[in-house]
Amino acid sequence: MNGFTFEDMKKIDRKELGDTVPLELFRTIRLIGMYQALPLGGKGTTLTIGRKIGESLPVDSLEELLRLFEDLRIGKPRIIQQDNNDIRIAVDDCFCKGLPVQDEKMVCDLEGAIMEGALTRIMNRRVTVKEVKCNINGDEYCEYEVRL
């Protein structure tokens, strides 16, 4: 036994509590745990964690990645702009939707880092993903800039 894979994560055998946990638990880990407990809002650590998760996801295209994002109920991503080296992805119904607005704050960097890890592996080239809008910042949705 040498660590876990994403496939292992689906092996769930809980008789009474089933295969889901409430969104507030995910938020608590993300925002109270990672964002507030780690130095600098968890920036470097979040990037490391997100990339590792992204690399481990069983997806082979951008479309599959976006579908998995929705299947995992992180949010509903859609491509709003695309040219040679730049893709803009908006995420509706992001996990952060409904939290109190805090000016100048964006908290969905982990999700961007997950995309970055997955896309870097899929495309076999350097990809960076930057969070440019967030519900928490008062924006109408969360948005990422993907640079190839």
Residues that bind Zn ion (CB under 5 A): 94, 96, 108, 142
Rounded to the nearest whole angstrom, what is the least distance from the CB of residue 31 to Zn ion in the complex?
10
Is 69 within 8 Å of 77 (Cβ atoms)? yes
Give the residue from 74, 112, 76, 105 showing the smallest Cα distance to 92: 76
Nearer Cβ to Zn ion (89/127): 89
Nearer Cβ to Zn ion (110/127): 110
Rounded to the nearest whole angstrom, what is the least distance from the CB of residue 2 to Zn ion in the complex?
34
Rounded to the nearest whole angstrom, what is the least distance from the CB of residue 49 to Zn ion in the complex?
16
Sheet of 86-92, strands arranged across: 76-83, 86-92, 142-147, 128-133
DSSP structural state of residue 35: I
Supply the Cα-derived Rg of the chain in whole angstroms: 15
Q: How far apart are CA 148 and CA 145, in angstroms?
A: 10
* Mode of pairing for the β-strands spanning 76-83 and 142-147: unpaired
Nearer Cβ to Zn ion (33/58): 33
Nearer Cβ to Zn ion (118/142): 142
Strand partners, 76: 92
Nearer Cβ to Zn ion (43/126): 43
Rounded to the nearest whole angstrom, what is the least distance from the CB of residue 91 to Zn ion in the complex?
6
Closest-by-Cβ residue to Zn ion is: 94
Rounded to the nearest whole angstrom, what is the least distance from the CB of residue 124 to Zn ion in the complex?
28
